[in-house]
Structure 1
C-alpha cells in the first residue's frame, strides 16, 4: 500500500469504468451516496469483489472497507454461513405464485427477534417500507400530514420525504406541504408542532438513536395527540441491538421499519408493528382496504433465508457487542492519532461505537468539504476506503491498527493544510460534495 512518498495506486481501470457508468447510468451509480462526487476527483474506486472486511477494485487495489455497503453488510462480505443459506434456497426456486413456507419461517424468526412487533411484512428496500408505514398511518388516523425529524438525513426516496430536501425537483408543492418537520431532541418543539397541526398529523417518524428519555417523550406525545409513532430502524436495527433501538431502550413504537443489516447485503426489508394497525393491510379487517405492501420480489426465498441466517449469527455470536468493541477501539485510535498530530479539534469522530462517522472541520471549526476531500484522499492512497468509520464484524485488530496508522499520516497532512490556511494544494481537484444539494 502506498505511503506519502510512494507513487499513487493504479486507477486507470476504475477511471474507465466510471466513464462507462456515467454514459449509461444517471449519476454513475444506482445510489447517490455511492456517486463518484462523494470521493476525491479521479479516486473513486469501482469494486471488483469483496471478502470479509476488504474489497478489491478493478485495478487490483485492496482496501480495508468502512461503511460496508452503506451499513448493510455488518457481518462482512460473502459471509459463508449466509451464502450457504442462500445457496440452499436458490436450488429450490426463488418466487412462486403463492407464499413459500420460507415466508412463514422468516416471519416467525423476525418476530422472535423483534418481540415488540406483532406482525411483519417483507419488501426489498427501506423506502418501500417507510412509505408503507406513512400510508398506513394516514389510513388509520384519517389525517394527511407526516411529521419527520429534520435533523436526520434520510427516510425514503418517495415524494413525501424527498420533497423536504434540496433535491425536490419534480415533486409538487402540494405533496411537500403535507410533510412537516421537527428538530431532534426537543420535545417542546415536537409538541408545539402537534398543537399547531392538531388533528392533522398522522404520524411522527424518527430514527430512534436516543436518548431513551426523548423517545419516551415522543411515545407520550404520540399517544396524547392520537398519531402513530414510527421508528425507522434501518440503521439502529442490529447495530443498536438485534431488536433495534426499541429492544435496547424499551420504548415500543406503533410501527417500525428494518433493512440494511437484516440481509447482510441481500435485498430484504421489513415493516413491523401492532396487529390492529397492520391488519388494515390484510384480509381480516372490516374497514376500507389499505394497499400496504405488494411486491413481486418482496419475499424472494433466498433473501429471506439470508435474513434468517443473519439473525441466527447475531444471536449465536454476539455480533452487536463485537461491533461496539471494534468501534470503540477504532474511535479511540483515531482520536489519539488526531490529537497527537494537533488536529484533534478538526477531525472529530461521532456517533455510537457501532455506527461511527467523522466530521472534518476547517481552521474556524466549521464543517469543510475541502478538508474532507484532503482526508479521504490520504486514506484512499493507503488502501483505506472510509466514507465513514462504520465497522463490520469482519474487521480484525490488525485492520483497525493499520487504519489508525494511515489516519495518523493523513492528520499530518491535515495539519500542514491548517497551518497554510488553505487545503487546496492537497486536494488534487474539485472537493467532494454533499449528496443533497440543489444544483449539480
Structure 2
C-alpha cells in the first residue's frame, strides 16, 4: 500500500470510488462478472485495478496489493507471465482469425490432448459456460434424453438457462427449461442412484465438479462412473477449477476416473480467454462431420480458435509440465494455510475464520459468534486484509507468489484476527464493517 500499514478506518480509495461510479453508469452491475462486483467488497473499499505483475496488482489510487484468487482463479501463473506473453507476442504479427482453420489449431489440440491424455478429442471456445452447455447439448443428443442432473452442492456451471434457472437469479428463464434440470448431492451415491431410478431413462448426464472444497469420498467418482454406465447417461466433469490445480491432467488424471466429457478453462489461458470441451471420440464426433446421425451444433464460435489465446494456452500447459507448477501451487498453499491457521488460533478465532479446500485452492469461511456463516464478519475480515495490502476474496494462490508474500499475508491475517476477536467479544461486528455488508452473488433482489 502507499501508506505504511494504514488501518481499515484510514484506508481511502477516492479514485477507485470514482471509477466504480463510472463503471455502474456504463456497465450493468459495474463489472462483467458478478463475482467482481463492488457489492462483493466492503463499502467504498472496492479497488479498481490499474495493472498487475506476478502476484501483485495496483489500484487506481496507486496502492499495491498481494492478490489471491487472481482472475477468478484463472491467472494461476501470475500476471504478465513471461512465457505466456512471449508466446502471444510471437502471434501478433501472424494474424488472429482466418477464414479456415490454422496450423496453430492442430498444435493446440495436440498439446491439450498430450496434457489431458484421458480425452480423445477437444474443441476450444472462449469461456466456461460455452463448453459446459455444449457438453449438456451433446449428452442430450447422444442419449435422446432431455433431463440434466447437476450437483447441487457446487456453486456454478454456466450462465445459460439450464443452470441459472436453478438459482435465485432466475428472472427471464421459463420454468419449462428449469424443470428439466435435476440436482443430486455431492458424495451421496445412494441419493444419486435413487434420482436416476426415479427418472429412469430420462437423464442425459450427470454433471459435477469432481472435487471442490473437499476431497471425493473413497470410491465416489468410481461409483458415479458405474451409475452413469448402468443408467445409460453420460458422466461430465466440470474441470474449470480442478484442471491444472489438481494435476496437469485435471482431477480425472489425479483420481483415475475417466468421464465421457470434461470441460476446462480458467487456468488454461492464464487470463487469456480460452476454454475447452474434451471427451470420448464417439461422443465428440457427434458435433463433427464423420457420422451418420443427426448433427449437433457444437461450439461453432467465431473466436473459438483465435490464435493469441491458443498460443497462450499452449504456453501455459508447457509451463505447468516443465516447471512443476501444480506442485508449487500445493507448496505455497500449504504454507499459507498453516500460517493462517496458526495466526487465527493465536487469537482464538480459528473456529470462526475457517479454511477449506485443497492447498492449491484454499477458500475461507467467516462465522459469527454462534458459528453461523456471516456476511458481516466477512466484511470485517476483508476490510482488515485490504488495509494490510492483501486483496483476497479467497486464499487461492498463484505460482507467482513468493515466500515473502505468503509470510506478509499471514502477518496481515494475524492483525485482522485480533480485530475479529474484538468483534466476537462484543457480539457485534458493525463498528468494524464500515457500512453495508458484502452481499452474496446469487440473490433475487439487488
Using the size of structure 1 for normalisation, the TM-score is 0.99
Question: 1:400 aligned to 2:406?
Answer: yes
Distance 1:18 1:179, change over 3 A: same
1:293 is aligned, of 289, 299, 314, to 299
2:248 aligns to what?
242
* 1:75-101 deviation digits (Å, cap 9, x = unpaired): 000001100000111110000000010
Find the aligned partners of 2:439 and 2:219 in 1 and give their Cα distance.
35
Partner of 1:93: 95
Q: 1:4 to 1:415 in 2, by over 3 A?
A: farther
- Distance (whole Å) between structure 1 residues aligned to residue 64 and residue 202 of structure 2: 53
The reply to whether residue 357 of structure 1 matches residue 363 of structure 2 is: yes
Gaps of 5+ in 2: none
Given that residues 239 and 354 in structure 1 are in contact (C-alpha distance below 8 angstroms), is that contact kept between their aligned partners in structure 2? yes
Specify the alignment match of 1:266 in structure 2: 272
**Partner Cα distance (2:137, 2:282) in 1:** 15
Residues in 2 aligned to 1:8 and 1:56: alpha-carbon distance in whole angstroms: 18
Describe the superposition over 1:130-156 as per-residue Cα deviations: whole angstroms up to 9, x where unpaired: 000000000000000000000000000
Q: Does 1:417 align with 2:431?
A: no
Which of 273, 276, 281 is the equivalent residue of 1:275?
281
Match of 2:21 among 19, 22, 30: 19
Matched, 1:106 2:112: no
For 1:36-435, what aligned pairs fall within 5 Å after superposition? 36-209=38-211, 210-211=215-216, 213-435=219-441
Note if contact 1:9-1:61 (Cα within 8 Å) is conserved in structure 2: no
Count of residue pairs the alignment pairs up: 440
Task: Give the C-alpha shift of residue 7 in structure 1.
Answer: 6.7
2:12–2:45 contact (8 Å) kept in structure 1: no
The 2-side partners of 1:417 and 1:44 are apart by 22
CA distance in 2, matches of 1:5, 1:80: 35
The alignment's C-alpha RMSD in Å is: 0.9
Which 5+ residue runs of structure 1 have no aligned equivalent? Answer: none
User: Residue 54 of structure 2 contacts residue 401 of structure 2 at CA under 8 Å; is this kept in 1?
Assistant: yes
2: distance between equivalents of 1:261 and 1:252?
Answer: 20
Distance change (3 Å), C-alpha of 1:350 and 1:105 = same
Q: CA–CA distance in 2 between the matches of 1:434 and 1:316?
A: 39
Deviations 1:41-75 (A, max 9, x none): 00000000000000000110000000011000000
Asked if structure 1 preserves the Cα contact closer than 8 Å seen for 2:113 and 2:120, the reply is: yes
Map Cα deviations across residues 401-426 of structure 1 (whole Å, 9 max, x no partner).
00000000000000000000000010
Q: Deviations over 1:249-298 (max 9, x none)?
A: 00000000000000000000000000000010000011111101100000
CA-CA distance at 1:6 after TM superposition: 8.3
**Residue 18 of structure 1: SS of its match in structure 2?**
helix
Local SS of the residue matching 1:50: strand
